[in-house]
Structure 1
Amino acid sequence: MVDVVTEIEIRRPRVAVAAYAANPENAPAWYSNIKAVRWETAPAMALGSKVAFRAQFLGKSLEYVYEFTELDPGRKLVMRTAQGPFPMQTTYTWTEAAGGSTRMTLRNTGTPPGFPAVVNLVMAPMMRRAMRKDLAKLKSLLEGGGSQATQEKTQRKDKS
């Protein structure tokens, strides 16, 4: 069993961080391993919605479908693999932090089949490094270190 939790504080309002991070179409912009995203159901954030991801991890191309299993807009999102190489659950939570910032927590849990416990000891630190890097990229994008188009899109969401 792999269970990895990382978090970061982002100097943006909770609703803005959650709106951007929860939108699967934004995943390739901040997840280094995700190369493509495609809706399997109508593109709407709802319980039961499914999204297909194509990713690169440990030198291998992975394709998997996540299903939204818990959704509290602006506060929590839980996705579980409906199809893919191994069962995985990803949880995002967003809480308000000092000065109008947001604390985002990213948690991945799963049990890769055919991987002995010793490999899991190696896999968890690799996942943790990748997740920290991804959250740092998200922070950079949302705090203004990203492209102008991303900044403008995020600013528009703040106003709505």
Structure 2
Amino acid sequence: MLGADKGQSGSLKGEGLVIGIVRARFNDAITSKLADNCLAELAAMGVLDKHITQVTVPGALEVPVALKAMADSDDYDALIALGCIIRGETYHFELVANESGAGVTRISLDHQIPIANAILTVENEAQAWARTEEKGRDAARVAVEMANLMDDLL
């Protein structure tokens, strides 16, 4: 029915979902805390540990490559990108932030797989720490909700 609102929205029930997580090692303490919070939220929504694959890459620019390999496998209902880019004194911040974000989006669209992008882009380390709990948990919720929504839509 053209123009009809399907009334669909993804649920936050993670039972049976298979999730892939790619975490950048750069700023390791911060990204590890993001991952801890993400995993805790996935567990709270019912995603089993055995249905979660975690890989670690050197930095944010490498995250899309690993996400693409996971998306190519067709083994996952949703993916999660975790990283932390802190502004420095050079243009490198913009390059890494823009290119990693564009890569994540491109893979999601090309493969029609939800990817929760929780690659923090912040001015300083204090801002990163202030965001680790909520952004880690939010990434898990986005992945589960979108996986369920895509299942309903496709």
TM-score by length of 1: 0.28
Higher fraction of helix: 2
Of Structure 1 and Structure 2, which has the larger fraction of its residues in strand? 1
Query: TM-score by structure 2 length?
Result: 0.29
- Tell which has more relative contact order, 1 or 2 (C-alpha 8 A, sep 6+): 2
